[in-house]
Chains A and B, each alone.
Chain A
């Protein structure tokens, strides 16, 4: 069934339809929240909270044109509100990073070269995560929406509620800041 009809049915009070929406999107929204806040427990709460808010909004008559972008919007607002409330400036490190890496290494079934490559990939991943962690939440959100979720500028505008010009400017600032942070991290690790 297409998204519009699912949303329509959910709006009419059909919670099965909404559970279907949850089934389709919850892993994406969970991953998005996880990348924004950096820990599984908050990401899980935020995901559930976001979907409940979306459900209530539908019952109140919300008519999302693009269901996926709309769900990201509700999730973005919910996550950003938490980050602002907590003033969570230092993003928490990824607790299960090691688990992910082990899976990668085990999955490589490796000749040495393959092993080396996956180690490099892991290093790169850690570096990216450290860079993201040091960005202001709004910049982090922009980078994730654009680079990881591959949303268009137009979609990012509708998710964040910003104008297209703001999207352009903010993405530039986010990338520039991330680049600076990356350079600092690298020079720091070379010195030590």
Chain B
């Protein structure tokens, strides 16, 4: 009976994840060894305890808040989109997205039209009366209960503080598009005077008033931080600049001392940073130009043991040492790590890094690529211009 060999199997045994011969072997051992049987029972009780932890209620208002954030996100993802479309002429994919969005929007309008009653009044609005936190780029929409004489409505619209508005109609829905963003943290009052008429001459039941307040100010994006050089090239040419998914830079490019080590299925990059050193682990995904990444704090210090004590199983493989080795062994699973064994010794170099709203760019001179680490923990690499 070998408890040392059986114990590590108890967990997978409990989950029914062993091959049948191993499963049988563990069962036979458990019948004879009280110690291991007790451990298994502890594992099982722990599992039941964790399983039985009660659900905690979701905070009220979380869905509404998320809706607002999603809306802002959409706005920032698509702002400046028209100009870029004209400028580049190459954004066919975005055009398709726009058309789909329009089609979806139109069908929503049609559904609403069928639902509203036949009265000369405003039956639906965005934002709702009394709304706060209205995004600075939001359009307003008013849906009328009956077909309106459009010119009379447009002449009857008035907004305080004054703002220049463009009008767009879809059936009975009027969209009011501000020429520039709304002012932050500002209460606005939109009125449609009683002079607005339906197509058959009936006036509104009563003048319509909509009050709303805009969201607190956003800081103006710092153009002065815009990336230059190889980061600037990739940012503009590959990622669409500030309107692209990476957004604006939030800091200037920073040169720093780095070390990198290639692995069988990824790489590790160590960055010498002011307060604590970080190790980025980039695992390959479907190919070697994209994948997932994680960031860890480097806990290795001069004087700590350098080696993991593990020997690579093949000659061309390398044991990662120092900070990479400790992380690899303790956090990534050692030889089981997704990235596998190292392929070459680590190398130090001067690299650079720049942070953006939705991720960061990393450059290392060996493979002449710019890594973009997205904030959802996926990454892509792009060839850096020479």
B140-181 Cβ-contact flags toward A at 8 Å (1 or 0): 000000000000000000000000000000000000000000
A100:B54 contact, CB within 8 angstroms: yes
Partner of A153, one of B15, B49, B63, B77: B15
Task: Give the dominant DSSP class at A's interface.
Answer: helix
Q: How far is the CB of B31 from chain A (nearest CB, A)?
A: 21
Partner of A170, one of B51, B56, B333: B333
- Known A-B contacts A19-B70, A56-B376, A128-B46; the reply to A35 vs B53 at CB < 8 A is yes
- Known A-B contacts A14-B100, A31-B55, A56-B358; the reply to A48 vs B46 at CB < 8 A is no
A131 to B156, CA, bound (A): 67
B350-386 Cβ-contact flags toward A at 8 Å (1 or 0): 0000000010000000000000001111100000000
Whether a CB of chain B sits under 8 angstroms from the CB of A114 is no
A53 to B292, CA, bound (A): 14
- Known A-B contacts A125-B54, A175-B11; the reply to A52 vs B49 at CB < 8 A is no
| B53 cross-chain contacts in A, Cβ below 8 A | 35, 125, 128-129, 148
Q: How far is the CB of A48 from chain B (nearest CB, A)?
A: 5
| B333 cross-chain contacts in A, Cβ below 8 A | 162-163, 165-166, 169-170
B56:A23 contact, CB within 8 angstroms: no
Complex: chain A residue closest to B74, CB-CB: A15
Complex: chain A residue closest to B46, CB-CB: A178
Q: How far is the CB of A166 from chain B (nearest CB, A)?
A: 4
Q: Which of B104-125 contact A (CB under 8 A)?
A: 104
A1-35 Cβ-contact flags toward B at 8 Å (1 or 0): 00000000000111110110011001100110011
| B97 cross-chain contacts in A, Cβ below 8 A | 12-13
Partner of A57, one of B7, B70, B101, B378: B378
A118 to B154, CA, bound (A): 66
Q: How far is the CB of B160 from chain A (nearest CB, A)?
A: 30
Whether a CB of chain B sits under 8 angstroms from the CB of A133 is no
B66:A57 contact, CB within 8 angstroms: no
Complex: chain A residue closest to B70, CB-CB: A15
A171 to B9, CA, bound (A): 10
Whether a CB of chain B sits under 8 angstroms from the CB of A132 is yes
- The residue in B47, B63, B66, B331 that gathers the most chain A C-beta atoms within 10 A of its C-beta is B66
Partner of B46, one of A77, A125, A179: A179
A50-62 Cβ-contact flags toward B at 8 Å (1 or 0): 0111111101101
Number of residues from B at the complex interface, CB < 8 A: 59
Whether a CB of chain B sits under 8 angstroms from the CB of A124 is yes
B1-27 Cβ-contact flags toward A at 8 Å (1 or 0): 000000111111001010000000000
| B66 cross-chain contacts in A, Cβ below 8 A | 19, 22, 26, 48, 51
Q: How far is the CB of B384 from chain A (nearest CB, A)?
A: 21
| A150 cross-chain contacts in B, Cβ below 8 A | 51
A170 to B330, CA, bound (A): 10
- Known A-B contacts A30-B58, A56-B73; the reply to A175 vs B43 at CB < 8 A is yes
A74 to B15, CA, bound (A): 25
Q: How far is the CB of A54 from chain B (nearest CB, A)?
A: 7
A74:B377 contact, CB within 8 angstroms: yes
Whether a CB of chain B sits under 8 angstroms from the CB of A44 is yes
Whether a CB of chain A sits under 8 angstroms from the CB of B336 is yes
A26:B63 contact, CB within 8 angstroms: yes
Complex: chain B residue closest to A160, CB-CB: B338
Q: Which of B170-201 contact A (CB under 8 A)?
A: none
B325-359 Cβ-contact flags toward A at 8 Å (1 or 0): 00000011100111000000000000000000010
| A93 cross-chain contacts in B, Cβ below 8 A | none
Partner of B338, one of A62, A161, A171: A161
Some 29 contacts from A to B, beta carbons below 8 A apart, are A13-B97, A15-B71, A19-B66, A22-B66, A23-B63, A26-B63, A27-B55, A31-B56, A51-B66, A56-B374, A56-B375, A57-B374, A59-B245, A60-B374, A62-B376, A84-B295, A100-B54, A125-B53, A129-B53, A147-B50, A150-B51, A161-B283, A162-B333, A166-B332, A166-B336, A168-B12, A168-B17, A172-B12, A175-B11
Known: A40-B59, A51-B66, A146-B15. 11 other contacts (CB 8 A): A15-B71, A30-B62, A47-B62, A77-B292, A84-B297, A128-B52, A147-B48, A163-B333, A166-B333, A171-B12, A172-B9
Using CB atoms and an 8 Å cutoff, list the residues of chain B in contact with chain A: 7-12, 15, 17, 39, 42-43, 46-56, 58-59, 62-63, 65-67, 69-71, 73-74, 77, 97-98, 100-101, 104, 245, 283, 292, 294-297, 331-333, 336-338, 358, 374-378
Using CB atoms and an 8 Å cutoff, list the residues of chain A in contact with chain B: 12-16, 18-19, 22-23, 26-27, 30-31, 34-35, 40, 43-44, 47-48, 51-57, 59-60, 62, 74, 77-78, 80-81, 84, 87, 96, 100, 104, 121, 124-125, 127-129, 131-132, 138, 143-144, 146-148, 150, 153, 161-163, 165-166, 168-172, 175-176, 178-179, 182
